[in-house]
Structure 1
């Protein structure tokens, strides 16, 4: 394990109450402005309401708002105001929820955040349309930011969205590809996950008025962090616990998705890699025993270790990039804590 890992903060996600105090009311306003049906579905998806519209008493089902926190802390890192970066924070969360709604439909995942996914409750058309509405709302929120920064922020968001769609498209295409290299996988992950996290950090700097060099450092920090997060998420998708993550564990294996542990395992030699290759090539649907076997084979072939090693390499690159933003000491510490918590979590 690297020196960075030895000195890294713990896995507990840092509590940033001020982020929720500033961000949540603005997000609620944005969701309330959606058409009635889409607002209801989005509120359910975000964990604020039950399917019948009853408010949820506990906030434990809601996500950690990682991307908005990155946006607001990135603004603070360049000596800017979190208030100035608020439109960016709301926009990236709206886009994130848009991707989750569509992902669940594409993957057929029936569980999200410890309860039925929105499409399984309200139907596929409602979930897709709600995702579309969230995407439009995200662009509108950024476009309404104070000028002249709004135009630059919209270009940043739109550029990230195009990369995100391309990454998602590659992810789907990989399912039927006979072979996927680690380099191809990492390029996909940079689009699918890194683009939005890079955008989240860049928007914080842009809306705070930082120069191009500092914004570039923030953007690259977020991109590398996003890839590290995807690597860690792939590990959780195979070896995590549904009771902790709120997502179906093992579903990626059952669907024969080529996540990084699988890609790394298939690239290796030896009996475990060969048997895994045969299992993935079989036209027969995987049952629970097949999934358990695949999980074992991926680990034996070194896929789990390879993904964890790649997450650490990406994390090291992220922290190097962050130094180019010349962040304030306090913001650097908080960004570092969030980053390590994201890739060393167990939920």
Structure 2
């Protein structure tokens, strides 16, 4: 089976390519920057192909020779649509490492087209959203009549440039929660509470994480919120920023913020990848007031992404699931998280 890693020279894309090579896989590496792509491909002794997402004809020609693509080139709000549409046209399985709400919703809207094409569409095959999706699925199993789901995670790891860029692009849109099955836009730092993610109780705030979309399709639970730790000072700053969110929607402001991010390190260093673990937490409630809580400690989010993307790619190629939209837990089962658990 022939598969592709698109965006293989980005911070996370290169981690995915490294792990694939270490597992004896030989994916085709792809992207639009030939110099950067060639450097990674030669180091890993893997084939490569220069392809620009803006060139639909060339993209579909390249995908036509692939059984599956792992899409790693963000911002996915810009890049996912042309890649998904081309995968449907060429009958190529689509996976990506996004955490962006709009991308999950767009991918879900392509469910019927994916079924007709006989391909899997499964965004979020990394830290966004494997561990939280598996926690959500396990909570649903333990409390089948749950009507409210709260998820969260705590990581000391540095963000990659790509993740940081995605975050600032999203700021102007505000936060997001799901209420009675519908995604609602809410202010930044909409809610706060104290949560023990697994390493002691911490002050936390809501964020518009991908599970606001995916956990609903995994569990059917109609109300969903996601939290991360945050200092009271950061929460106050974000809440004040709500008055100026309109300014952050301008493309020139986004570009300015992205340029500032380019001055930062590419992502976590080797020490952080090995030692900065992530604590994942979830809580389900039903109408009677019953509560079930789960906690897991998993590997660094970027390391998890590198392994999860390859693991799920191999699962799809080997198991040949029926076509359609999937979440990671729906595709591989709620016990997928066990591969990435640390003691």
Q: What TM-score, normalized to structure 1?
A: 0.29
More helix by share: 1
Q: What TM-score, normalized to structure 2?
A: 0.29
